[in-house]
Amino acid sequence: MDEKKVMLSGIQPSGDLHLGNYLGAIRNWGARAEEFDCYYFMADMHTITVRQEPAALRRRTLEQLAQYIACGLDPEKNTLFIQSHVHQHAELGWVLNCYTMFGELSRMTQFKDKAAKHAENINGGLFTYPALMAADILLYQPDFVPVGDDQKQHVELTRDVAQRFNGIYGDVFKVPEPYIPKTGARIMSLNAPDTKMSKSIPEGCVFLMEKPEDIQRKFKRAITDSDTENCVRFDPAGKPGVANLMAIYSAVTGKTYDEIQAEFAGMGYGKFKPAVGDAVVEALRPIREEAARIMADKAYLESVYRAGAEKASYVAEKTLRKVYKKIGFVAR
């Protein structure tokens, strides 16, 4: 039997997961475990490049882990762990800092963006974190790294660093390929349908753990369109607000746009918006309840991240030992 290809993804616990994250990506992740050996980690070490409130960071890290399990990432089939629990990330991160060029780091668009947003805290970690990201990836010798548009540059840098290191010391790192994930619906903000749903616009964003009444309120206030037609019809150019609500309704119910149009024929937006809200509440209910149950079971959550870190450390240590030997460190 062929060994599964390895896939790795790190997620910063910088905020609550929302409907756009879930319908656009996370919902498809559970099925990946059938095809790939998957590693998912909470990238808490990356999060501190921007100042964090310690208690909030601890809480969010565990909440995010609980939510991923509730969304279908089975810990028996996926390796789930917290980055700071696997010391090899920091150790290889330092080594790869020494094989990543200053010019390469200064060209990273995310550094420029974050430096502009956090001008009072342009720290060394903010500048060099792509080297830590390269270490995060290369430790596990993955075949694939799922990337969105905003991270392609970092995976390209990781490949450059791996090839540079291999060019000096021989075949140490597998050079990973970017994996463009199968995406679900592209969900837009409820109050600004020309922008993607984002936690930075909370009024237009539906969070997975939000109370049903708050979700319903947001859908009732959702922007539809300024026309006087008041009919449910899929027209992304002319009726972007309605088209977004139809995309959400379709994603959570499985109904086609034609079926949705027929269902709400002659009813207008006053009936349609609350119906979408109800459908979303019901789709998220099992996730919300399961995540809350997991958060309440501290022993279970701890057993998941401990077992994940143990497996991750075992794999990571093999790579780190090989790297240390190649660069001339005395074996410990």
Q: How far is CA 313 from the centre of its chain?
A: 22
**pLDDT computed for residue 2 by the predictor:** 66
Q: Residue 80's beta-bridge partner residues?
A: 40
Q: Which two tokens stand for residue 258?
A: 């034609």
What is the sign of the dihedral through the CA atoms of 88, 93, 98 and 104?
Answer: positive
228 pLDDT exceeds 70? no
Same fold, 5-184+298-327 and 202-291: no
Residues in the chain: 332
What is the sign of the dihedral through the CA atoms of 112, 40, 132 and 46?
Answer: positive
Q: Which residues does 147 contact at the CB level (< 8 Å), separation at least 6?
A: 154, 155, 178, 179, 180
167 pLDDT exceeds 80? yes
Q: Which two tokens stand for residue 80?
A: 């789930």
Q: Which residues does 83 contact at the CB level (< 8 Å), separation at least 6?
A: 10, 41, 42, 43, 44, 45, 46, 89, 136
Share of the chain above pLDDT 90, in %: 71
Q: Which two tokens stand for residue 4?
A: 């599964």
Question: Mean pLDDT, to the nearest integer, of 208-232?
Answer: 89
**3-state SS string over the chain?**
CCCCEEEEEEECCCCCCEHHHHHHHHHHHHHHHHHEEEEEEECHHHHCCCCCCHHHHHHHHHHHHHHHHHCCCCCCCEEEEEHHHCCHHHHHHHHHHCCCCHHHHHCCHHHHHHHHHCHHHCCHHHHHHHHHHHHHHHCCCCCEEECCHHHHHHHHHHHHHHHHHHHHHCCCCCCCEEECCCCCCCCECCCCCCCECCCCCHHHCCECCCCHHHHHHHHHCCCCCCCCCCCCCCCCCCCHHHHHHHHHHHHHHCCCHHHHHHHCCCCCHHHHHHHHHHHHHHHHHHHHHHHHHHHHCHHHHHHHHHHHHHHHHHHHHHHHHHHHHHHCCCCC
Q: Which two tokens stand for residue 278?
A: 């109800």
- Give the residue extent of every domain in the chain: 5-184+298-327, 202-291
**pLDDT computed for residue 150 by the predictor:** 66
* Average pLDDT over all residues of the chain: 92
Known catalytic residues are: 114, 196, 199
> Residue 202 and residue 193: Cα distance in Å, rounded?
13
**pLDDT computed for residue 219 by the predictor:** 96
Q: Which two tokens stand for residue 3?
A: 């060994």
Whole-model pTM: value is 0.88
Q: How far is CA 230 from the centre of its chain?
A: 36
Considering the segment(s) 5-184+298-327 as one domain, its CATH architecture is 3-Layer(aba) Sandwich (3.40)
Q: Which residues does 89 contact at the CB level (< 8 Å), separation at least 6?
A: 45, 83, 132, 135, 136, 139, 316
CATH number for 202-291 (one of 1.10.10.10, 1.10.240.10, 3.40.630.30, 3.40.640.10): it is 1.10.240.10
Q: pLDDT band at 273, cuts 50/70/90?
A: very high
**82 and 42 Cβ atoms separated by less than 8 Å:** yes
pLDDT digits (tens, 9 = 90+) for 69-122: 999 999 999 999 999 999 999 999 999 999 999 999 988 887 777 777 778 888
Give, in degrees to the nearest 5, the angle at Cα 197 between 230 and 23: 95
1 pLDDT exceeds 60? no
**pLDDT computed for residue 25 by the predictor:** 83
